[in-house]
A and B are shown apart, each in its own frame.
Chain A
Amino acid sequence: MGAGGHSRHTCLASATLTRETAAAMTASLSTRSLIGLIGAPIAFLAPLLLDVPGLDEPGERALAIMLLAVVLWVTEVVPLHATAAVIIIGQITMISDAALVDLPADFEPAPFADYYQALADPVLMLFLGGFFLADGAAKFSLDRALAGTLLRPFGTRPAGVFLGIMLITAVLSMFMSNTAVAAMMVAIVLAVTADLDATDPRRIGLALSIPVAANVGGMGTPVGTPPNAIALSGLLDIGEAITFIGWMIRVFPFMLLVLAFGWLVITQLYRGNNSPISVAIDTAFDRSGHAKIFYVTFAATVLLWLTEPLHGVSSTIIGFVPVVVLLSTGVFTADDLRNVRWNVLWLIAGGIALGKGVGGTGLDEWLVGLVAWQVLPLVLLLVIMTLVAISLSSVISNTATANLLIPIGLSLATSGAIEASPVLVGLVIATACSLAMVLPVSTPPNAIAYATGMLPTGKLAVMGLLIGGAGLLVFGLLAPWVWQTLGLVP
């Protein structure tokens, strides 16, 4: 609190709930950083200094890198994308053919360039295309115009408004940043809630509908949220390419199911006296030449993604089309290119590199051998995986969770230690990473909704638990059964 004992110094500020919470978060973050600072070297050095039973030298080195990544991603003592860079340099200097300390003669290390290649993985190019579409939608306010146009048919009854907001938020999140979509939708909703009484339950309903839909919506397409990319890339690496439409066919219906459940709960709990709410958004579409080029590019890219089975061109190649078109036509400038979220691409690359390292050093076999997986029934295994992913991503970044869990899950599946196919495991873990929303800090959309002050922490926690529970049933049990029954997973 400022300088004490100063006569002219008027300290008006009384600590509010928000500020106390913020202060508590800062305090716990610094404890977290401290744990990271102390834990990181220990985690890194332990496998190198101690002899890990059953693990050869290359595996021990890969384990050291992996444990370091775990500590760094969990504690965020360095930024998430920096951890990705740490992984790559670690792999190059420790387990590649450019290793600084010689590896055993019987081990054939991968060329160091292979680890750099994670930064230009085909799935990253798919995401780059996704980012171009997302950034363009924001640049030309297509997101806002679409939201306004699409919301109108949902009327003014709370149930209809909640449904409209959730569907639009989810659909936009399938292509855009969940965080950016949530920020835009909350801004729209703030205009409405200003007129509502502070105790009106519909305020909570409106504030809650957005993060739920933004978090869940991202799983709907391969480019919706980074955990999807980690799964796709890991699967591509073992020859299990999933098409854009293939992902949507498997995931989208179940995403809608979770969304419908969320909508039912919100409508039941927070429709209030059921009196109308009017959400008005100015819906002017940008009609400039550049905007039109962008609309056409957007539509063509999505169309090409959806029709991959017809033309056979990989979605990772089509992802580069909007990049080429928008840059060549000058619709995207050098500034726009620089503003691409390279940090997110690097974070994904870290997960991809980690997967390569785990697979290339025998660490995967060792991890698989740690537990007698065979004694666990498949159903239980899937539930455990989902639960671990949801829990972990409640407290750390969804992408970091996927980065850590997907390589392990895919190793289990490819080794034959468990009866599930890699595709099944990849889908289950990736989707589970989008189901965590218990705390304000669980995801950025949660933090945004919470910052409005309309959403008591308890209500968010209850909703988060309900969505997590429903998601666990849907993606841990129902979806795997349906996929297997319909032959959608090998």
Chain B
Amino acid sequence: MKITVKDLSTIAAKKNNELNTYKAMLMVCTGTGCVSAGGFVIRDELNKILEQKGLDKEYLVVGTGCNGFCAVGPIIVVQPDGIFYQKVSKDDLEAIVNDHLIQGKIVDNLLHHGKADDSAKKTMKEIEFFSKQELIALRNKGIIDPENIEHYIAHDGYAAIGKVLTDMQPKDVVQEVIDSGIRGRGGGGFPAGIKWQSAVKAVQKRGMPPYVVCNADEGDPGAFMDRSIIEADPHAVLEGMMIGAYAIGASEGYIYIRKEYPLAMIRLEKAIGQAREKGLLGKNILGTDFCFDIHIHRGAGAFVCGESSALMKSMAGKVGEPRAKYVRSVEYGFRDAPTVLNNVETWANIPMILRKGANWFASIGSGDVTGNPWGGSSGTKVFSLVGDINNTGLVEVPMGVTLREIVEDIGGGVPGNRSFKAVQTGGPSGGCLPAEKLDMPVDFDSLTEAGSMMGSGGMIVMDDKTCMVDVAKYFTEFLANESCGKCTPCREGLQTLRETLQNICDGNGCESDVKYLEELATFINETSLCQLGGTAGNPVLSTILYFRDEYQAHIQDKCCPAGYCKLLVTYSISENCIGCTVCAKKCPVNAITGDRKAMHVIDSETCIKCGICVEVCPVDAVEVK
């Protein structure tokens, strides 16, 4: 049934009343991470148990999008109290139903324990991982069923487009977005409002109907912000695009999403279907003159297709290669029409900006964006926190919080008795920041200044076992493999960088290499055709900037301080050895010999430096030097 603007509040009230009739709601995380650990099974099993016990009218099981705290999944949150159960298995469900729901007793062994005092935390609010976060883009994560449009509407969903269509002129919408200061969350940090304004001008100049495009081609290793937003709250993205379309006068929108995100795609398709059914997409949206529809285009997984011009080519069925953007895609974009492309997170922010106002948004974050979106970084940013960190997961924090707050307070620091070495931000072509940079604010300009970048929000934490030359090599290799090869600096330059780094890691580096690497990386950054190549030198440049010593050690001393580069290290067993023989038994090439209760010896000729002995030794007697 097609609805009008007035119907939105009625639907919301009705749905909220309906949900309030339940004694409690069990929010089962069904984001991709928890699903792979059994999220769907838990949801279905829980429903079955409630049904068997005749409790299904009193309790509602909701499969939500990613909760964010991926490290401890599968997760169930019992609302409205916010009781947080972690690492739930199928076998725990009886206990949750019997103890918690029926008897009112919290299941202690499923609670999260804080790092600082090791005390059990009952509710989400008490857990450090959540307490420092501020949610805008992820406002509905874990609290709505992403596959049910009425859940979204019940949480003020589509209120923004309702307001825009009834009370605002397109130019006012553009102005509101400019005033909010929101900068593109996909990496570039270009003010979204300015982009929209240029598109409006281009439409006037060229008289061609424009397009809006959502870039959901998230390809950075270790990044899953966009996927999680779509999985948790697909309608937020659709609503954002609708507002954008109204603002620039588009009647067609496309979402370019990678095929590797099946769950996100299913939820997006369902959301579009439901929105069309309700008259929120299609002709005469909400009973107004505004017509707009959204199509999904599936990407085949090339990293470079996240670059806007390559994305648009790929969408048009051509080879996904970037073009020079001396003429921007807001002027000549998809099908040569003016095109506004924003990333998932940007679109998801838009409804909140229109609902709560530009001033509210601009007041969050760092710097001052009044009258100049370049003046700071307003709003929040979603990061996927991964690597050597305790609390792996998805976090949203106001711009300007320090790296330390993210890594130590929210992330819970580096696991084991290792120490923090670096954090890599901004995806493969971002940079690695060392411990002394932990107190810097995280926003667009500070990160760029420090030789890294915001990127789309991947954050990879590395401990002291990580070799920074190897890290540079890893990311360079990734980029060399993903380079489309169109322009010479990126194609030939990255290959040469890779070879040079390989040589250094193999102990074949020479004195002039570091200078050569710096020159070459700068050359690639300055002369490449697109931003893939234009930032591809960053991993090398930032690791040289902050970890030059490690390069020198590899080149001059032929040693890898982190003990990672195989050709530069030797394994030996120290006097701490208790002769337990475990290492000898586990060694895949039988390189370790020694009698029971006597010190063991590694034959360095046979040793393949696989590291198994290090892991299995109960007394840390295996030394890597």
Question: Does B bind A?
Answer: no
Chain A residues in the interface with B (C-beta under 8 A): none
Chain B residues in the interface with A (C-beta under 8 A): none
